[in-house]
């Protein structure tokens, strides 16, 4: 498939590169050109042997093309529990509402329930998700069948999955297809024995691989680890050798100076989930401090049971809004930094080094933002508009690997939306009966 986008505002997210007007050309799953109209003419003059025949030419009408957002932490199939498990603190939420119903879910249930989340990701301009759930093979099947990019890690813990399964996932899901990859990880320190974590550390060393987990999401979790081991979760996991090859943590709210020294030393990413953390009253992550310490931050929605909305625009606003409120300083965490977290940093955290910028040779994971809506006018500063006033309603198109999967309210995911909804309703009725 060859696609030419023209008459577009273009935000490449490359450092120091301003928004410009021009064209983007896509061949198969890659961007082959991104530049001004003058640069396009120069390209044609210097590539006269190239066959520039387009399957589709899209007049962007001054709308914005940019790299897709990367949802750096989610549990997609928890669409099942959306609005069924609300208004509870985290530990009660998990123990009374989440774990019991998850015990009833089959791999096939998770396959179908994930598709609703994928559809919502597309409407929010997301082109990849960093997924953690119970049945990685059926999750991978769901994302592949919808044509959505997925990086998974496991939720290994004392009660489900195992180190042997973790190694199998790592070996069999990496390279399985063009949409799926896998990174080592566990659910959290508080759901894993020391022996289990030591075995995971051996696996991380064996493959020289990064490692991920929910880390220091709540003050209670952090204090209980200190009571068990005399260390915070970051200190404890690092003492076992789990971070020798990088990785990071989801939530990372209750960190201290020593934790951040470990994060900086190991090159770890902090994935913040402000919507979920606000709803569950877990706390406000020290985003400004992470930026000052040189710790890269990415953004995730968390799952649709704890958030409940899978909306990167809302998450971006909350990242900067809560940071300002935490320090009572309206200058904290600039919108440009937040947009970088939602795109470039997310891609790098997930190991998607070819999906960070909108540039020649990169994966054609592109979104189009409608600039002709009142929330984007006047066009004083597009980056700040995206973060402070942007909305799902501004997403006109989401392309992944050169294929348009969502455009103006229509989905191209290999299944009829109404059939997906009906299947989810059927599963919900069975599991909650």
Structure tokens at 180: 């799926």
User: Beta strand pairing status for 395-400 and 366-369?
Assistant: antiparallel
Express each pLDDT in 91-145 by its tens digit: 888 889 998 999 999 999 999 999 999 999 999 999 999 999 999 999 999 999 9
Classified as helix, coil or strand, 89 is: coil
- The pLDDT of residue 107 is 98
- The pLDDT of residue 134 is 96
Can you give 27-55 as a three-state secondary structure string?
A: ECCEEEEEECHHHHHHHHHHCCCCCCCCC
Question: CATH number for the domain including 327?
Answer: 3.20.20.140
Classified as helix, coil or strand, 398 is: strand
- The pLDDT of residue 95 is 87
* Residue ranges for the chain with pLDDT beneath 70: 50-51
Task: Give the closest residue to 232 by CA, choosing from 245, 247, 248, 217.
Answer: 217
Containing structural domain, residue 126: 69-349
93 and 161 share a domain?
yes
34 and 163 share a domain?
no
Whether 9 is covered by a domain: the verdict is: yes
- The pLDDT of residue 392 is 97
- The pLDDT of residue 93 is 84
Whether 26 is covered by a domain: the verdict is: yes
Whether 209 is covered by a domain: the verdict is: yes
194 and 243 share a domain?
yes
Task: Write down how long the chain is.
Answer: 433
Structure tokens at 133: 């759930």
Question: CATH number for the domain including 369?
Answer: 2.30.40.10
Domain count, the chain: 2
DSSP 109-135: HHHHHHHHHHHHHHHTTEEEEEEEES-
Residue located via tokens 């902090």: 270
51 and 75 share a domain?
no
Whether 397 is covered by a domain: the verdict is: yes
- The pLDDT of residue 399 is 99
Structure tokens at 155: 């939720």
306 and 385 share a domain?
no
317, 349, 381 - which closes a domain: 349
84 and 232 share a domain?
yes
DSSP 358-374: SSTTSB--EEEE--SSG
Structure tokens at 282: 């877990």
- The pLDDT of residue 51 is 66
212 and 101 share a domain?
yes
The partner residues of 367 in beta bridges, in order of sequence, read 66, 398
Alpha-carbon span 405 to 414, nearest angstrom: 9
Burial environment of residue 272 by CB neighbours within 10 A (0 to 12, 13 to 18, 19 or more): buried
């Amino acid at each position: 498939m060859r696609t030419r986008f023209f008459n577009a505002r273009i935000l490449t997210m490359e450092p120091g590169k301003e928004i410009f007007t021009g064209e983007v050309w896509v061949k198969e799953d890659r961007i082959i050109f991104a530049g001004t109209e003058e640069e396009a003419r120069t390209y044609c003059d210097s590539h006269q042997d190239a066959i520039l025949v387009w399957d589709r030419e899209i007049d962007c009408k001054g709308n914005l093309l940019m790299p897709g957002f990367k949802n750096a932490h989610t549990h997609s199939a928890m669409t099942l529990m959306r609005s069924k498990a609300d208004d509870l603190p985290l530990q009660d939420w998990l123990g009374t509402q989440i774990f019991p119903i998850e015990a009833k879910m089959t791999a096939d249930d998770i396959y179908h329930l994930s598709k609703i989340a994928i559809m919502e990701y597309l409407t929010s301009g997301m082109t990849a998700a960093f997924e953690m759930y119970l049945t990685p093979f059926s999750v991978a099947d769901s994302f592949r069948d919808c044509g959505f990019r997925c990086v998974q890690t496991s939720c290994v813990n004392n009660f489900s999955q195992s180190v042997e399964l973790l190694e199998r996932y790592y070996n069999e899901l990496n390279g399985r297809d063009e949409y799926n990859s896998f990174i080592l990880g566990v659910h959290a320190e508080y759901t894993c024995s020391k022996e289990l974590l030591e075995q995971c550390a051996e696996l991380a060393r064996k493959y020289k691989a990064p490692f991920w987990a929910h880390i220091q999401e709540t003050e209670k979790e952090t204090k209980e680890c200190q009571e068990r081991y005399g260390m915070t979760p970051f200190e404890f996991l690092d003492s076992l050798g789990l971070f020798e090859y990088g990785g990071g943590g989801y939530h990372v709210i209750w960190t201290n100076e020593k934790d951040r020294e470990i994060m900086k030393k190991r090159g770890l990413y902090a994935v913040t989930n402000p919507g979920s953390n606000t709803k569950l009253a877990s706390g406000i992550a020290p985003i400004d401090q992470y930026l000052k310490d040189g710790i890269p931050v990415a953004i995730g929605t968390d799952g649709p049971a704890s958030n409940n909305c899978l909306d990167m625009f809302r998450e971006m606003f909350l990242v900067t809004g809560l940071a300002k409120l935490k320090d009572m300083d309206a200058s904290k965490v600039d919108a440009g930094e937040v947009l970088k977290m939602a795109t470039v940093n997310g891609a790098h955290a997930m190991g998607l080094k070819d999906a960070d910028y909108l540039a020649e040779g990169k994966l054609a994971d592109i979104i189009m933002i409608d600039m002709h809506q009142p929330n984007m006018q006047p066009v004083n500063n597009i980056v700040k508009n995206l973060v402070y006033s942007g909305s799902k309603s501004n997403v006109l198109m989401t392309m992944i690997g050169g294929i348009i999967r969502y455009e103006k309210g229509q989905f191209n995911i290999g299944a009829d939306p109404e059939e997906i909804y009906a299947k989810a309703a059927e599963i919900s009725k069975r599991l909650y009966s």
